[in-house]
Amino acid sequence: MTPFWAQLRSLWHNPRARIVFWATIVGIVMGLSDLGMPLEEGLRNVRWWAYTRQADQQIIAVLQDDRTLDELGRSDVTRSNDADVLKALFAAGAKDVYFARSFSKRGLPEDDQRFLEMLKRHRGKVYLGATLGESSNRGNFAGALPLKMFREYAQPVSLLLRHRPLNLSVQIPFSSDSPIGHIPTASAQIAGVRRGSDELYYPDFSISAKSIPQLSYIDVLRGNTDPYQIRGKTVVIAPVGAAFSDQHRLPGQNVAVPGGIFHIVGAQTLKSVMPRDLGWSGALLITLLVVASGLRRGKVLDSRRLWMLVVLLGVAPFVLSYFSVQVSIAPALGLALVAIVRTRHLDRVEEASETNAGSGLPSVQALRNSPDLSTRILVALKIRNYGGIIGSFAEHVEAQLAKEIVRRIRISDESVLIYHEGGMFVWLSSIRSTFDLFENLEGLHRIVQNGIQVGGIEIDLSFNCGIDSEFDRPLSGRVASAMQAAEEAVRSDELVFQHDARKHEAQWEISLLTSLDRAIDNGEVWVAYQPKLDLVSNRITGAEALVRWTHPERGPIGPDKFIRIAEEFHRIERITRFVLNDAVRAAVELEREGYEMTMSVNIAAQLLRNPALPGMIAEILAAHGLSPNRLILEITETDRLDRSSKTFQMLQRLVQSGLRLSIDDFGTGNATIDYLRYLPASEVKIDKSFISTMDSSEADLRLVQSIIEMAHSLDRVVVAEGVETLKNLEALTRLGCDLVQGYHISRPVPYRDFLSFVSGRRARLIS
């Protein structure tokens, strides 16, 4: 299993991660299916109600109301009436006039003619409504257009509205399709906005309908109006009487108004600011990021913070609505609420699991779940035959017995928090010295041996203890060690048994060894590449291939650990073959990309005594087609080297085959002058321990200078490793070092990242 899938599987086993996953699914389903639509529209209504404000008084509604029809004595106004009203409105100085009703059917010929004459007189200043039409399918199609003779002098405008489900809100399209093509809606035409018929917007229903100036049609017809009210303003004539059946509930205000009022509100909205609808995905994504960001140490946001998130989701749309920006939050609220409910349930389950039901003490499970480190010694005290003691009482006395045990533990180890599970009592001791703790536990043993009274009955208790003092490990791991040590104390009949870290590590190393081959096969073991910078050309001319192991459970395992184990158990050949093969492949790929580089690979001393080594290397080079002089073998020898040794003879064979050798860790151990005298190496690598102290140690600076001069005098290339600062780099440049590598240049990285690094550096040099 690759590290990615291993991590994904580990994450899936985290119950809180699953909460985030399923809460996200709920949110997405709500967004895609509009399940949260009633809630969404209800919240919009609340926001509009909360922000109620006045109209700008620049658009007037002239209402064909019941009073108008009563005084005219008929069920509808005539086209002649409309002509007279137009005459009166323009005489009063109206800017333009919109009829929010259909003119698709003929009236009396003389009435139509009078109306037509008035349209001709005010050509381009009158707009006639287009409606859905009796035979039109539902949708944004204005099938009922004004009569053609009227359209020659007055532009048609769509009066269509889109009522949301349950009629909780209304949207208006910017334009509508019609038999003569796209026509603007009345609101868009008044505001001078042009958009497609597939775009809709939410009018700002916080604009109070009662604040829109309104005149009765009959008053305008009879001249009973003040011209000042009309001069320079847009007029919308709208049928409002009961006979017209054009009444709709205005969202956020709970009043019934004619359709024309919706377009007046829409027009004022568009004139103020272009409304935007951000949809639901943005809010959902932000909520997901906030919830998922709380996934720390196996935890997710606690319920209190989740409720704060819910409040924020409620407040943010209020702020955005003030700027005519709409956002759908129902899916995000669904995600957050599911997370809250499931998290609270899980909290209760975990709280129950972290409290011992019998004793009321914190459960040992709380320690098992703790990722914290502690510098206190962990003690596990095991009561022998605890179950038998509890079972011998007719009534439940576990809490009383636990109370007495805790009281005795705290006699000399005050205020410690004691955890309980079965016959095991665990605590972090306040006694820092292991010797003092042993004495304390012996004293506790003598106290307990005197007996404990529970329910008037004397109970003889005996216990054994295990302790763990590995402070660099989290408590979740140490608790098992301490409890295992207590069991070992019972088996060996010792009062106290200390967890043996070395024995534990040996067991781990054996298990590590058994999984090494499988780790190589399934991709846990991989190769990182660290660039080598040529100080003269300022170019990356090579790289060192370094083996890495990302264990699915323990995470990254240090190469010094598993390489040592592989050498000890004679498995180093498999790892070396793996690294060599990947390094040679990488060198060939780099060549295809236009980079001719050397590849350095570490060869263990153990392999230098293996007569099959030259053949293995030759086989890998041949398989990929790489020249031997492009491969550098880095040698770190632990034994003294002379010309008669088998190791020296092996090195001669490798050099004769065209390979290059590098003396690794020069300046430490035996890798000193003897190596320069005998080893047929073309390269010397100065150990990083000298490089890192050059800044602070004059002696190390002089030593590095001497190594460089000595190596150059013997015609060796000098590489400095462990270069971590600009100051190091500048000093090595002054000293005449040939190549450098270290964190200041780049950390060891996967091949693809190495290739990107080299490409980016070349691009910067060219530019």
User: 321 or 250: whose pLDDT is higher?
Assistant: 250
Quick one: which H or E segment has residue 175? strand 175-176
Using the 8-state DSSP alphabet, how is residue 138 labeled?
Answer: S
pLDDT in tens, 455-466: 677 787 888 999
Q: What is the DSSP string of 684-726?
A: EEE-HHHHTTTTT-HHHHHHHHHHHHHHHHTT-EEEEE---SH
Quick one: which H or E segment has residue 421? strand 418-421
pLDDT of 4 strictly over 70? no
Q: Quick one: pLDDT at residue 298?
A: 44
HSE-CB at 570 with a 13 A cutoff on CA atoms is: 2
Classify the phi-psi angles of 312: left when phi > 0, otherwise alpha if psi is within -120 to 50, otherwise beta: alpha
pLDDT of 231 strictly over 90? yes
Tokens encoding 176:
């509508």
CA distance 729 to 711: 19
Q: Quick one: pLDDT at residue 643?
A: 56
Fill in the amino acid letter for 234.
T
Chain-centre distance for alpha carbon 92:
63
Tokens encoding 314:
């409620």
User: Does residue 169 contact residue 134 with C-beta atoms inside 8 Å?
Assistant: no
E-only strand ranges, 10-135: 59-64, 96-102, 126-130
Place of tokens 């054009």: 246
Q: Quick one: pLDDT at residue 300?
A: 46
Q: Quick one: pLDDT at residue 399?
A: 83
With CA atoms as reference, report the closest residue to 360 among 352, 371, 368.
352
Q: Quick one: pLDDT at residue 18?
A: 78
CA angle 692, 693, 694 (to 5 degrees): 100
β-strand 463-468 against 496-498: which pairing, if any?
parallel
User: 640 or 250: whose pLDDT is higher?
Assistant: 250
For the four alpha carbons of 344, 348, 353 and 354, in that order, the dihedral sign comes to positive
pLDDT in tens, 92-115: 999 999 999 889 899 899 999 999
CA angle 438, 444, 446 (to 5 degrees): 110
Q: How many CB atoms lie within 10 A of CB 336?
A: 26
User: Does residue 378 contact residue 501 with C-beta atoms inside 8 Å?
Assistant: no
**Least reliable range by pLDDT among 319-333, 343-357, 696-710:** 343-357
CA distance 64 to 79: 13
E-only strand ranges, 435-524: 452-454, 457-459, 463-468, 496-498
**3-state SS, residue 114:** helix
Fill in the amino acid letter for 139.
G
Tokens encoding 565:
């184990």
- For 493-526, b where at least 16 C-beta lie within 10 A, e where not — what string? eeebbbbeeeebeeeebeebeebbeebbeeebbb
Tokens encoding 385:
């035959």
Fill in the amino acid letter for 158.
S
**Least reliable range by pLDDT among 228-232, 351-355, 414-418, 553-557:** 351-355
Fill in the amino acid letter for 143.
G
**3-state SS, residue 231:** coil
Q: Kindly indicate the confidence band of residue 158, based on its pLDDT and cuts at 50, 70 and 90.
A: very high
Fill in the amino acid letter for 161.
L
Place of tokens 């303003």: 233
Q: Quick one: pLDDT at residue 750?
A: 92
pLDDT of 192 strictly over 50? yes
Tokens encoding 447:
């106290």
pLDDT in tens, 36-47: 777 777 777 777
Tokens encoding 571:
């498995």
pLDDT in tens, 109-148: 999 999 999 999 999 999 999 998 765 556 788 888 999 9
pLDDT of 323 strictly over 90? no
CA distance 28 to 331: 7
Q: Kindly indicate the confidence band of residue 17, based on its pLDDT and cuts at 50, 70 and 90.
A: confident
pLDDT of 3 strictly over 60? no
Q: How many helices (DSSP H) and strands (DSSP E) are in the chain?
A: 28, 31
CA distance 262 to 251: 10
What's phi and psi for 399, nearest 5 deg?
A: -65, -40
User: Does residue 109 contact residue 137 with C-beta atoms inside 8 Å?
Assistant: no
CA distance 196 to 8: 45
Q: Kindly indicate the confidence band of residue 63, based on its pLDDT and cuts at 50, 70 and 90.
A: very high
pLDDT of 617 strictly over 50? yes
**What residues have CB less than 8 Å from 631, skipping those under 6 apart?**
580, 583, 584, 587, 598, 599, 601, 617, 621, 659, 660
pLDDT in tens, 568-579: 666 788 899 999
CA distance 556 to 662: 28
Tokens encoding 625:
């087609």
Surface-to-core class of residue 237, CB atoms within 10 Å of its CB (0-12 exposed, 13-18 middle, 19+ buried): buried
In percent, the amount of the chain with pLDDT more than 90 equals 33
- For 38-74, b where at least 16 C-beta lie within 10 A, e where not — what string? ebbbebbbebbeeeeeebeeebbbbbbbeebbeebee
Q: Kindly indicate the confidence band of residue 550, based on its pLDDT and cuts at 50, 70 and 90.
A: confident
CA distance 316 to 632: 62
Q: How many CB atoms lie within 10 A of CB 695?
A: 12
pLDDT of 224 strictly over 60? yes
**3-state SS, residue 219:** helix
β-strand 739-741 against 717-721: which pairing, if any?
parallel
**3-state SS, residue 463:** strand
Would you say the pTM of this structure is higher than 0.75? no
Beta bridge partners of 428: 378
Tokens encoding 265:
């509100």
Q: How many CB atoms lie within 10 A of CB 113?
A: 15
pLDDT in tens, 619-659: 999 999 999 999 999 987 544 555 556 788 888 899 999 99
Longest pairwise C-alpha distance within the chain: 130
On average, the pLDDT of the chain sits at 83
CA distance 761 to 767: 10
HSE-CB at 592 with a 13 A cutoff on CA atoms is: 9
- Going along the chain from its start, the domains and CATH numbers come out as 15-50+278-352 (no CATH), 59-273 (no CATH), 364-499 (3.30.70.270), 508-766 (3.20.20.450)
Q: Quick one: pLDDT at residue 352?
A: 53
Q: Kindly indicate the confidence band of residue 1, based on its pLDDT and cuts at 50, 70 and 90.
A: very low
